[in-house]
Amino acid sequence: MRITELFEKGEFVLTAEVGPPKGVEIDHLIKDAHEFLKTRVHALNVTDNQSSVMRTGSLATCKVLKDEGLLPIFQITCRDRNRIALQSDVLSAALLGIENLLLLTGDYTTLGDHPQAKPVFDLDSVSLIHAVKCLENGYDIAGNAVDGTPPKFAKGAVVSPCSDSVDVQLAKMEAKVKAGCEYFQTQGVFEPDKFMEFMEKAKQFGVPVQLGLIIPKNVGMCRYMNANVAGVHVPDDMIKELQADKERTKSGDVGVEICARLIKECKDYAQGVHIMSLGWENRIPEILDMAGIAPIA
């Protein structure tokens, strides 16, 4: 199933993010996906060497999850592959029955565990979306015909509604839509007013947007994001909320409450929610229950 079919039906689409391990043992990932996520989210994003840290590949992990009866979203970044390899991986995804893509430019290699690695960035997210659209139309980005029936995908991308440069984000969003993007997931949102203001302007594009949430684990994590993650800002009052009860923050209770509150405040402006749990997959059902989001039928 393509995730766009759910948006077209008017579903409030719920997704979560899982990261492949730095190794080949993924039994715990599969177990968590079945136990905590299968009845609460429609699909699972599988990250592509997230934060430039080398891990098992996203495509292989997507295939394992699909074989387990789950709906994976194949994240693809432009950091590690040129246009030949990117298009090849997209065709490989189609061959394996992976129909959902999230197309990203990617983090710089200097942020990860192989800072000496050479970044590629032959394409960016917009040109990668265009390349996938070309493949769907039966030819590659160089204009060469693709054999057989062209593949079809749900093509997604990312937008940062809480960025200081809202006009720049809207321009990027428009470029991605024109290239063929069919849905968006946002960067982590901690400022609901900024999100709602952005969405009032973004609705002109007529493309569904999922509210992106990061479960805040502690004060240090929030301060790191404020200093290092573009387009993400945790307000001072939210940091004070995490500081107020260290035991409840350490247990995850405060972070869960913050996420549930953000969903309640923003859900009328979004067509779904995407939760980046960072290892706290077991808290996602609780977040959704507190936000009044029922289990998936």
Domains present along the chain, CATH in parentheses:
3-290 (3.20.20.220)
Torsion sign (Cα): 247, 253, 255, 258: negative
pLDDT at 297: 74
- The stretches in the chain having pLDDT less than 70 are none
Distance CA 19, CA 58 (A): 8
Say how many CA atoms lie within 13 Å of 24 toward its Cβ. 1
pLDDT at 38: 87
pLDDT at 175: 98
Say how many CA atoms lie within 13 Å of 109 toward its Cβ. 13
pLDDT at 37: 86
* pLDDT tens column, 107-161: 888 888 899 999 999 999 999 999 999 999 999 999 999 999 999 999 999 999 9
pLDDT at 177: 98
Task: Compute the CA torsion angle 263, 164, 50, 134 (nearest 10 deg).
Answer: 100
E strands of 78-126, at which residues? Answer: 100-104
Distance CA 269, CA 155 (A): 21
E strands of the chain, at which residues? Answer: 13-18, 43-46, 72-77, 100-104, 154-159, 183-188, 209-214, 272-276
Distance CA 291, CA 274 (A): 14
Cβ burial, residue 230 (10 Å; 0-12/13-18/19+): exposed
